[in-house]
Homo-oligomer: A and B are copies of this chain.
Amino acid sequence: MTDHFMNLVNARYSCRDYDPERPVEHERLVQCIEAARLAPSACNSQPWHFTVIENREKLLAASKCLQDSGMNKFADNAGALIVVNEEPATLKAVIAEKMDSQAYAQIDIGIAAAHICYEAASLGLNTCILGWMDEEKLKKTLGIPEEKRVRLVIAVGYAREEKHYNKKRKDLEAICDFIR
């Protein structure tokens, strides 16, 4: 396998400075969703729906729903916003029993979001996963039914300038035990 994931891991960072002059090619957005479509999920339930906003006016309206206390203003300059809805998961009975205590659909949403970000990184795109939103306002803005849950919005675009961040993370020893 020549495609080494760690190169993509090192290339990806949460981009908060998109080039407003550089739109994202529709075909590349389709490829990002295609990667998410192929993500694994509990019982293959695929509990997700994606709304990809490319239209400038709609994007700005949606972006406003992500902004509070000075947060996320950069989203205005993204080439696209991908709104990630959680859909009801259909699980095997033995697993469904644990659905209330375990968080299968939310974990699956995270897995799918990672697929979008790494496919984007493969294509030279930058992303930022946004967890804060005025969910009610966002659903009204996009005509998403009230009963749906929006879990994430992923900003996608080209960074204004190429950057490389050294990721600040806990040490390996702090997050892992090996039983050998």
Map CB proximity to B onto A109-123 as digits: 1 under 8 Å, 0 otherwise.
Answer: 111111101110111
Q: Tell which of B4, B26, B33, B107 touches A107, judged by Cβ atoms closer than 8 Å.
A: B107
Q: Which residues of B contact A177 (CB under 8 A)?
A: 49-52
Partner of A131, one of B8, B95, B168: B95
B44 touches A168 (CB 8 A): yes
Question: Chain B nearest CB: distance from A26 CB in Å?
Answer: 7
What are the interface flags for A65-83 relative to B under an 8 Å C-beta threshold, 1 for contact and 0 otherwise? 0001101000000000000
Contact A121 B52, beta carbon cutoff 8 Å: no
Q: Smallest Cβ distance from A86 to chain B, in angstroms? A: 9
Q: How many residues of A contact B (CB 8 A)?
A: 80
Nearest-neighbour CB distance to chain B for A127, whole angstroms, equals 9
Does the CB pair B119–A179 fall under 8 Å? Answer: no
Whether the pair A175, B37 counts as a contact (CB closer than 8 A) is yes
Flag if B33 contacts A6 (CB, 8 Å): no
Q: Is there an interface contact between B5 and A175, defined as CB atoms closer than 8 Å? A: no
> Could you list which residues of chain A lie within 8 angstroms of chain B, going by C-beta atoms?
1-12, 14, 26, 29-31, 33-40, 42, 44, 46, 48-55, 58, 68-69, 71, 94-95, 98, 102-104, 106-115, 117-119, 121-124, 129, 131-132, 142, 151-152, 167-170, 172, 175-180
